[in-house]
Each structure stands twice: as C-alpha cells, then as structure tokens.
Amino acid sequence: MEQSRDADFDKMELVLVTHVVDAITFWAQNVTGDKATEIMDAILSEKCPTATRLTGMPSPQRLYGACYSEDRCWYRCKVQQLDDKFLVSYVDYGNTEVVDRSDLVELPEDLQSPALAKKYKFWAFHLPSDQDSPHYSQGKSFLQNLIYGKKLRINKKSVCFDGTILVQAFQGNLDIGEEVLKFKFARLSLPGNRESTFPAKALHMQAGLWPSRGLEGDGDHPSSLGYMPKLRPVFSNHKPEVLIAQGTDTTAHMPGADGKLENQENHPSDAEMGAQHLCSQGTEHMLVQTKSELQKVREELEEKNKEIEKLEEQKSSIQKHADDLEHQLKEARLELQEVSEVCQKKDECVEAHLDSTVGERFCRLVQNVEAVKKNRESNLCSTAGDHLLESITVVVNNQILKPFTSEKLDLAWEDYTQALKALRECQHKGELENLVNSRNRFRSTLLTMIDDFLREVDTLPMRERLESLKDIYLKLMAVCGSVLTEDTEDQSFEQFCNWKSQEHQNSRNLCQATDQALTALSAWAANISKSLCLTGKTGVSLENIAEGVDEILQQAESCVSEELDIKLFEPGSQDMKIMSNAFHKVMQHIQKEQQLLHGIMDKCEINRKFKQEMLQWQNSTPKIDELSCIKKRIKSLRSQLRWKMVEVGCLEEADELDLPEILKKKEEIAETRNVLFKEIGHEKEEYGKLCALVRGSFPELVLQYPEADISSYLSTEGLLMKSLDRDIFDAEPMKELSGRRPLVCTEFQGHKVVLKGYSVDEESEVRMLEQAVQYHRARHQKTSGVMPLLSLFFGKSDPLAYVMLPYISNGSLRTVQRNRPLMTAEIGKVMRGALVGLQSLHAACITHASLNPSNVFVLNREQGIIGDYDFTKTPEKRALDSGMVAGPISLVAPELRQGQPPTPASDMYAMGGLMLWLSAPDLNGGVEDDGQAPELLGLQLDSKLLTLLSKLMASSGRITVQEALGDVYFLSLED
C-alpha cells in the first residue's frame, strides 16, 4: 500500500494555494522555478501607472489591470460592470472585489496571457448547506486555516465544463478531502449524481483579498505566502539619483573620514583648498541636477504638444460630427413636417372611425392574450437550442471516465508481454526455469489487476450510458443535423450557455413586461368600472381615467405581440455559429465517450477470456502427456496394420486360398485403418491445442518437449503430418490423370481424397514445403475460390512427397468441356469464382503461373475454384510448362515468351485465354510465337465479353483481379 501511494505521488503536481472559495473549492498557482508571479508583478507595476484608463463597457474576454485596494498595487483581472462600479476577478490569484473606474486600465496584447491561478475542487465532494448558513462559513474558515498559503500535492481526476479541475489534494501524507469530510463540512457524491459542471452565472462579491502579507519563504509554513497579491518589491537602489550622489559625496568627504583630522587643523591652507574643492563639486552637482530637470521639462513639453495635437484632431472630428448632426437635423425637420401633415390627415380619419377602431383593438388584444396563455401553459422544449442545452447537460454531467485501474492493468500487461517475449527468444533450455518463474509472477500480478479492473467496470452503468448517448445522438441529428460548421472552438459550450442564458433572461424580461402592461391595463379598466357604477360610493377622478390611457393600451398591445412573435424569431448568423459550435462539440463528446466505453467493454471481454484460460493453469503447466499417448497408439496401430497386411499377402499367395479368412483379415485391416486415421485426427487436434498455447502464454513448450516437434507444426500451419505414410492408405490409381505425376484416390477420415505424388530431392523438398505452406496460409485467410490442401507428408519408403486434396467429382475444366461443355451463362459464373480464388492468391503476393484447364475445377457447374500447382517448381518453370494451353490457345503471356518473370498480370492473361477458349471452343489457330496477343476482332461473341477479353489479353496495361470482378460483364450476371 505504501508503494502504491509513492507511485501516485510521482504523478502529482505541486501547487500554491492563493484563495479559498468554500470548504471544497480553492484557487492555486502551479509551483514552478521561473518566478512567473514576480515577473508579472514587476511588468504590471511598470506599465499600469501610465496605461490608458478604462473607457466604455469592459469586454468579458479581455484582461485589465486593477489597483488592489489593500496594497494599491496593480494586478490582472476580468471586469464586469455593476452600475457605476466594477466587479473585478483577479485571475492570477482567484479573489474578487468592487473598484471604481479610476482604478482600471487597459492592458496590451502581450499581457493577455493565460491566468497563473486555476480553480480546483475536491473530486467526488459536494457542499451540504447553502452559502448563507453558518455551517458553510465554518467550512470555508476550516479549509482556509488548513491550506491557505501552503503548497499542496494534487492528483487530477477530471475537468468540469467551466474549467474547474477536480482533484485529490495532499499536504504531506494528509488527505485534505478526508479532513473536510471528517468534520462534515462536505459530503461524497455518487458517480451518477455529480454536481453540475456548468459555469456559474453570478459573480460573488468578497470583502477583500487577503488579511495580511508575509515575507516569501517556504510554502509549507502558514505565513510563507502571506499577503496576496504580492506587493511589488522595493529595492534599495530605487532612491533618487541626486540623494545617492549626495550621500556618496558626503561620506567620501566627511571630516575625519580618512583619519587625518589633526593634519587639517595644523594645515589651514589645505582646509581652504578642500573647501574650494567641495564648492566646485557642489556647483557641478547642481549643474547636473539642473540639466536633468531641464530634460524632464522638455519631455513633459513634448507630451503636452502631443496631447494638444490629439485635442486638435478631436476638435476637428467633433466639428465634422456637429456639421453632420446639423445636416441630419435639417432633414429630420423636413421629415417631421411631412409626418405632421400625414398625421393630421390620419387624425381626421381616426375621429370618423373611432368607435369601430377601439373595439377592434380590444378584440385583437384579447385574442393575443389567449394565445400567450396557451404558449405559457405548454412550456414545451420545442426549439433546437433547448434540445441542445438539455443534451449538453446530460452528456457533460453524467459522463463515465476511464477506470482508475486501467493504467495499472496496462502496465501489468506490458510486464507480462515482455516476460513472454523473453521466453520466445530463449534458445537454451537451462534458462527456461528462471524465465518461466518470472512469467508466472507477472501472470499472477496481471490476474490480480484483471480482477480489480473487472470489479471496477462492473460498477459502471456502461450499457445504459451507451443507450443514452445513442438516443441523444439520434435526437440531435434529427433536430440540429442541418447545422454545419468549419471549426469547433474550445469555448463552444461556455459561449452557447451564456447565449442561451441571455436568451432565457430576455424571454423572462419580456414576460414580466407583458404582465406589467396587462396589469396596468386591468387597473385602468377597474377605474372605468368604478366610475360607471351608479351605486358605488367611491369616486374616481377624471385624471385617473384619461391620463396615459393611449400609452397603456399601446404598451399592452406591443408587449403581447412581441411575446407571440418571439416563437417565430429566426436566429442570426452569429447565433447559428454559436449553436453550430456547441452542436459539433457535444457530438465530439458523445463520439469520444462512445469510443471510450466500447474500448472498455472490449478490454473487459479480452481480460475475462484470458482469465478463464488461465484458471486451469494457476497451479500447473501444460504437458504433452495426451500427445505422447496418441503417438504411442498411432505407432501401435501402424504396426498392427502392417502385420495384418502381411498376413493378407501370405494368405493370398498360399496354394489353397482361404477366402473367408482373407475377407475377415481385410475387414480387420479396414477397421484398424479407420481407427488409425481417427487417432491421426486426434493427434492433429492435440497439436492445434499445443500450438495455441505456444502462441499464447506458454512459448516454453517448444524447448521443454523437443520430442513433440511442435515447431514443425507451427511453421507449416498444421499442413505437414508426419504420422501419415503412403503405405497405410488403400488407394486406387487414377490412370487417366496420372500422365504427368502419380495420382491415387482413397478415403481419409470418411472423405474421398486424392493423393498427388511428387518426386523430390533435398532442394526441391525444401522448396515444396515453403511454397505449399505459403499457398496454405493464403487459402486460410480467404477460403472461397481456392482448392484446400488437406495435408502434406513425405514417403518413408520412397523419395516422394504427397499432397492430399479433396476429390471433386465433376473434375477440371478440361474434363467438363470434354464430357459436357459449359453453357454461356455457366461460363460467367464459373470464371467469376475462379477470379475470386485468384484474388486471394494475389492478395497474399502469390503468382499462380499455372492456370490451365487442368488447374481450374468446377463445382456443380456454378462455381469455379483455383487448383494447386506444382510446389516443386519455381513460378518461371510453371509458367513455361507445356500444359499451359487451352485447345489451340496458348495461355502464356507475351512478356513471358520474351523472358520476363511471371507476375499477377500474366495470371490475368491466362484467365483471359481460358475464357476465350470456353466461349469460342471452335476457334481455329493459336497465338504465334511473336509475343503478340491474339486478334479478337471478328469473333461472334457478346460485346461485353469481347471488351473484357481485350482488357485481359492486352499486350500491356492489363486490368487487375479487382478491376475484372467489377467489370460490367460480371456485374450483368447478378441482374
């Protein structure tokens, strides 16, 4: 536990507390060695006294200089106007106060740098009481006495939307949050009920900054920070130069300063000379002082002249503005005269229709008031901005953070992976024990970290959160999906919330104005009712009835209409930009959190699977006992099979044939062979399990059990099977297909297979194994369209290598075309399947170089697959083989006949030749040995097929497999 805490301290930051807001919130500066605070104070003390005073409304985005009331020094701040006063927030320390306009100055752009202090809050805490309660004040005082002016170590946990950093804070080994919690000044917040992290809308005024100031020192002592903001330092050399010079002269020429007072008394002539010397020095000093004062007067004169020039410019501008105003006044008088004439005409018309006009106005007003009532009663979240604000609240407040144990789990995985890497690189069996022990220790640590991680993740409502984010994403896309933006600003949420808050405030103000106007109209109507009541005793004066009635009615109509029109208000370009930025920002938050949650879930799945796999090996290690037993049974069965085959041979060669006994022995041979093949299948399965363990967590098995030869199985992807031998098969020769190499047909594990034999020597055996494994890997990566290799084994009694392939009843293209040629519609389907297989080989960087009618097979006359090739030959030899013909058509590409090596393009030429042969079997004449492609003009073929063949069999620039599969000829087959 102590080591874990030390590791956490290494990741912490050191800050200096400058202001305490409440029991869980404080401001602090990052402790660095660059003395940024002293430098900033020095710059401000130099520039602020001569800087331009604040005029007009302050901008909330800029920083200003303010003279602090306690020490009359200058500090940077943000400003908010409060009537004729200004509320300033000192950004480098965190405190606030109210100042006059005279104490505020403009700051240049080089001082608009980020604040030195940041706002921090204890993570997972909230206040149990409001600001006006005594408990709230006691909590603030408690925290201030505990940390104010001291250095703290903080561990960052999260960042709120308003920039507040959620942290754990320590002073030495003391957890500050726990101390606050212990005295019940704060409470813990559950993960799903955290406080809103939106920025506060109101600024709280405070009486002052800090009560006292101390000297700079160690931040761990209560008086080390002292009075903040810090006063500008006063250096000893800040005295006027005249006083310094006078002090120096006086000290240098004081009586007795050189220890020779008696000599001055005895030698009056020397005293007189000294007095003259002092007089001359005084004169020179007065001259220097006079010149300095003269220079200052000149500088002041120049400044006065500049001010006079500025005043002249202002005067000229004011005069020009006055002329413009006079011109506008003349135009306004003319317009007023015209309007007066129009109004006079309207008054005459109004007097004629006064009765009907008043009634219509009151009817419209009543209708509008009813509409306002319905709007207020519905109170629906109908605008895009309202939906967006609601979504931001859910996304930001309830977000799930990365689990704390995730980083420790990653480190444990890294250590475990390095241990496995060392095991895989081990070449000597004597080093295995130490490496295995090290791996086991790291694995134990990893399993512990996995348990911690899974426990923590199980407490997180990830699936519910994902569903919530998905719903919000879809709703926002439906409501705000048309809002676009080119760039998203960092302050998008803050700008949007401020804009939305202002919009709500305007709406509230408008509702209040409507209520006041209707109340005034109701009061007027009440006075009318009283005045018209004949039985009432309370009289109403005529002034209360007639005074301001037109204004009251007009105000009521205006406010009601404006409140109705606000629903139809279209936001401007700036409003749309604010909404767009906030929309894209929240979408980024949603996508980022979705990626985090999916990553956590995938990580959980991987670790759970690993934990389940490791449970059986906690107290043991894998062994090859089962494999050894299988190998022993295989060896015994092979011996039994050979002995039974010898017995059958002896019975068949006897003078008197015992047919029942021979049949019985053959049945026993067949049964023994089937049992042997099953055991060989079990051996392959056991090898697969051991290879999975070697690739995973137990790479030492290769060195621990060399007799199992696991490395051979790994290197060949399970293709090479040493337990097989030609002698154990009951095979029938396939004489019709064995012209080039021996082929036999047999059964293996209940399936009919073909054994293809190759004569090999040492060099061709290595080449065959390499090329067969490469082909086998390519086929496993994408299984469709490629003939599978079931196994490969070398003969023990002959120099042959055998490849086991599945038996295809329909046979190759050559056989199909000889017995029952493919129809036009079938050709496209078969060749498309062959192209898909060729795509798999080309994707694995394999050039087949042996595509001919005997190496393309047909399944159910609907699908074609690519067969294997001669693994003992190089691609160059395969490409120039005599079998590379299809009827009269040569399948050898022109570049191959010119001596170039085979490429995927030469395979595409062979595919084109096969399609030409299938589509035009009666084509006369082949390709001459001039290295040119065949002439396709004049053939009676489909135009789409001819276009494809011209691309496949071009002399250069042939299309690739992907382009061929996307050709219109094959696409038309899908219609």
Q: What average pLDDT does the structure give for the chain? A: 80
Same domain, 695 and 844: no
CA distance 91 to 577: 28
Cα–Cα distances in Å, from 817 out to 246, 292, 918, 946? Answer: 123, 116, 8, 21
Same domain, 750 and 877: no
Cα–Cα distances in Å, from 362 out to 64, 215, 303, 355, 365? Answer: 53, 75, 67, 11, 5
Same domain, 719 and 859: no
Same domain, 867 and 788: no
Is 670 inside a domain boundary? yes
Same domain, 796 and 829: no
What type of residue is 234? V
Best mean pLDDT range from 108-122, 187-201, 257-271, 646-660: 108-122
CA distance 246 to 168: 58
CA distance 25 to 121: 4
Please compute the mean of the pLDDT values over residues 617-628 and round it to a whole number: 86
pTM as predicted: 0.53
Identify the residue with better confidence: 389 or 831.
831
The values of phi and psi at residue 121, to 5°, are -145, 140
The residue whose two tokens read 């036999």 is 744
Tell me, what's the pLDDT at 539? 59
The last residue of one of the domains, among 789, 806, 823, is 806
Q: Which residues touch 58 (CB under 8 Å, ≥6 apart)? A: 64, 79, 80, 81, 86, 104
Q: What is the pLDDT of residues 395-449, one digit of tens each?
A: 777 788 889 899 999 999 999 999 999 999 998 888 888 999 999 999 999 999 9
Same domain, 797 and 896: no
Q: Which residues touch 25 (CB under 8 Å, ≥6 apart)? A: 119, 120, 121, 122, 164
User: Is 806 in a helix, a strand, or coil?
Assistant: strand
pLDDT at 196 exceeding the cut of 60: no
Which stretches does DSSP call E strand in 144-223? Answer: 151-159, 165-171, 174-175, 187-188
Could you give the angle at which helices 384-397 and 462-480 cross, rounded to 10 degrees?
160
Report yes or no: 423 and 699 within 8 Å, Cβ to Cβ: yes
Angle at 640 between CA 635 and CA 646, to 5 degrees: 130
Same domain, 824 and 697: no
What is the CATH classification number for the domain harbouring 824? Answer: 1.10.510.10
Please compute the mean of the pLDDT values over residues 905-913 and round it to a whole number: 95
What is the CATH classification number for the domain harbouring 774? Answer: 3.30.200.20
pLDDT at 192 exceeding the cut of 50: no
pLDDT at 690 exceeding the cut of 50: yes
User: Is 370 in a helix, a strand, or coil?
Assistant: helix
The residue whose two tokens read 């800087």 is 51
Is 368 inside a domain boundary? no
Q: What is the DSSP string of 871-909?
A: TTS-HHHHHT-TT-EETTEE-S-HHHHTTPPP-HHHHHH
Q: What is the chain's percent helix, strand, coil content, to nearest 5?
A: 55, 10, 30
Reading the block at residue 316, the tokens are 């000229």
Same domain, 831 and 969: yes
pLDDT at 262 exceeding the cut of 50: no
**Containing H/E element for 65?**
strand 64-67
CA distance 613 to 607: 10
Please give the distance of CA 379 from its chain centroid, rounded to a whole number. 38
Same domain, 724 and 823: no
CA distance 852 to 866: 10
What type of residue is 743? L
Cα–Cα distances in Å, from 402 out to 162, 269, 306, 349, 411? Answer: 20, 93, 62, 76, 15
The last residue of one of the domains, among 193, 210, 233, is 193
> Which residues are registered as beta bridge partners of 66?
75, 104
Q: What is the pLDDT of residues 123-152, one digit of tens each?
A: 989 888 777 788 888 889 999 999 999 999
Same domain, 13 and 79: yes
Q: ω before 229 within 30° of 0 (cis)?
A: yes
Best mean pLDDT range from 185-194, 335-344, 857-866: 857-866
Structural domain boundaries enclosing 921: 813-973
What type of residue is 100? D
Report yes or no: 531 and 523 within 8 Å, Cβ to Cβ: no
Reading the block at residue 443, the tokens are 């694995």
Q: What is the pLDDT of residues 47-74, one digit of tens each?
A: 999 999 988 889 888 999 999 988 899 9
Taking Cα atoms as reference points, which of 775, 759, 780 lies closest to residue 868? 775
Same domain, 801 and 820: no
User: Is 197 in a helix, a strand, or coil?
Assistant: coil
Lowest mean pLDDT: which of 337-341, 714-718, 792-796? 337-341
The last residue of one of the domains, among 193, 228, 257, is 193
Number of domains in the chain: 3
Taking Cα atoms as reference points, which of 817, 894, 831, 897 lies closest to residue 864? 831
Same domain, 89 and 71: yes
